[in-house]
Amino acid sequence: MTFKEALQAEINLQGLSVAIIAKASGISKGAIYNILNGTTEEARIRPSTCKAIALACDRELRREDDGVEFVEFGASRGSMPLQRMPETSTVALSWMQNRLFLSNRHCGSAFDWLQKMEVEGRLAMVGVVDRIYQNRPDFLSLAVHNNSAGPVNDVRLRVSVSYRKLTHTFPVSYSETISPGSSSEMTVFLCDGDPFELSVSNVEHKTDAGEAASPVLLEPFRYSGGYGD
């Protein structure tokens, strides 16, 4: 893997934020974003930068003939890896961190609630609207994958968020038809501010045979906290 690919894989695995990596490594968030979005070419990333970022992820950088990889050493952060529902399920789910805001595919009720909590001073975080206009990859998506041989549509589920002193549950729905082997992504939350946990429940969908329910085997998404600019 390239360093960019290895870093993105580690961010997804541990549920880390760019803000946390920047603070721990001493590398600016802008520099890390430039690595992740490909603005900084692989050959121009300094070895010292790679090492500092790997250490900030509580990992050691191992260089191989075909690229690099992050490997564990010392104590683990204890973060739970992001997982998908097994491929034997008709509908599989997966968390996708460090995504751009999808203006035509987002959970409006979740962001309305976040903005309300921020205005009321119940959550300390960077403004959602500002981050959307800045086109920052600070958002969390939930992807639905169709593992079946036929089309799936009208996928509905509930996502619950838990902060230390706040909890809220909001509905998420994917109205379009998802073809066999295809996926649909939706922006569901913002990864910034106070630590939180997201969990999924009540997953339902429609097939040619009618209504169906899927077991919820997706691990919760845990954000350890961090504050951006």
Distances (CA, A) of 123 to 59, 100, 113, 190: 31, 22, 11, 12
* Residue 74 vs residue 170, higher pLDDT: 170
Domains of the chain from N-terminus onward: 3-72 (1.10.260.40), 91-223 (2.60.40)
146: pLDDT strictly greater than 50: yes
* Residue 115 vs residue 65, higher pLDDT: 115
HSE-up (13 A, CA, CB side) for residue 168: 16
Predicted pLDDT at 213: 62
Predicted pLDDT at 79: 35
Share of the chain above pLDDT 70, in %: 86
* Residue 107 vs residue 103, higher pLDDT: 107
86: pLDDT strictly greater than 60: no
Per-residue pLDDT, averaged over 73-82, amounts to: 38
138: pLDDT strictly greater than 60: yes
* Residue 126 vs residue 174, higher pLDDT: 174
- pLDDT grade, residue 77 (50/70/90)? very low
* Residue 14 vs residue 172, higher pLDDT: 172
Lookup result for tokens 């998420």: 172
Predicted pLDDT at 214: 62
- pLDDT grade, residue 228 (50/70/90)? low
Predicted pLDDT at 83: 41
Beta bridge partners of 207: 210
Per-residue pLDDT, averaged over 31-42, amounts to: 92
> How many Cβ atoms sit within 10 Å of the Cβ of residue 181?
10
Q: Out of 102-106, 180-184, 187-191, 223-227, pick the least confident.
A: 223-227
Lookup result for tokens 């230390």: 164
> How many Cβ atoms sit within 10 Å of the Cβ of residue 228?
19
Distance CA 16, CA 54 (A): 12
Distance CA 204, CA 214 (A): 6
Distance CA 168, CA 115 (A): 13
Tokens of 158: 């509930």
Predicted pLDDT at 126: 60
